[in-house]
Amino acid sequence: MVAYCIIMAWQPFVLGFLFGGPTHGVALGAYRPLLIKNDAGERVRNPAFDKHSQQVLNLKSPERPNYFKPAIEYCTESLAAYLRENVPAQNVEILIMPSCTKGKISAGLEKVVQEICRKDKRFVYHAGSLARTKTIEKLAKGGDRSVGVHLSSLEYKPRNGAPLAKILLDDVMTTGNSLIGAITVIHQVQQNAAILPIVFGKTTHD
């Protein structure tokens, strides 16, 4: 495995009020999109696009192994560093935010989670526990940004003995509504679940 210098640029965030209180989460860095619109409305390369954003973007490209594998290693180290310092719980279920397509999850996120669970036995992962039950339009293609579209297309089925301490992992957060929808669905099944949303990048245009 390649050794990476992980920059601790953790960014806390707060999601909307759910079940009596806000949900606090953390972004492991900022995500600056590769392409942005200039003053003329043309899509151009973002001059602020950086290494962290590149690795998060590469996490979405399993068809490009020369980029995908280093992204897995980088993101695994980033997440492991955060968990070591900030998650003292001894029994935690990691859930992956499903893709927009029915029955699909990110291959990159799954590989990261599998590696985390292999190295740190405090964490468990059960494939398919949190699933997309019907395909929704991607946000990048103009899809509905509302929480409701996620509430109607997500399902959580805990495995026997699933711990109440949970991490909900996603690659990029823009509006936060997909996370809110998933957390709501999880709470409908396990009301006392303590859920920490973690994303590798929070979209910023600064």
Task: Provide the pairing of β-strand 35-37 with 30-31.
Answer: unpaired
Would you state the pLDDT for residue 139?
A: 61
Band (pLDDT 50/70/90 cuts) for residue 1 is: very low
Checking DSSP bridges between strand 21-27 and strand 43-45, what pairing results, if any?
Answer: unpaired
Instruction: Give the pLDDT confidence score for residue 88 in this predicted structure.
Output: 93
pTM: 0.91
Ranges of each domain in the chain: 11-203
What is the model's pLDDT at position 3?
A: 46
Rg (alpha carbons) of the chain, rounded to whole number: 17
**What is residue 60's DSSP assignment?**
T
Give the closest residue to 183 by CA, choosing from 171, 199, 167. Answer: 167
Q: Which whole number is the average pLDDT over 164-191? A: 95
Residues 74-89: tens digit of each pLDDT: 999 999 999 999 999 8
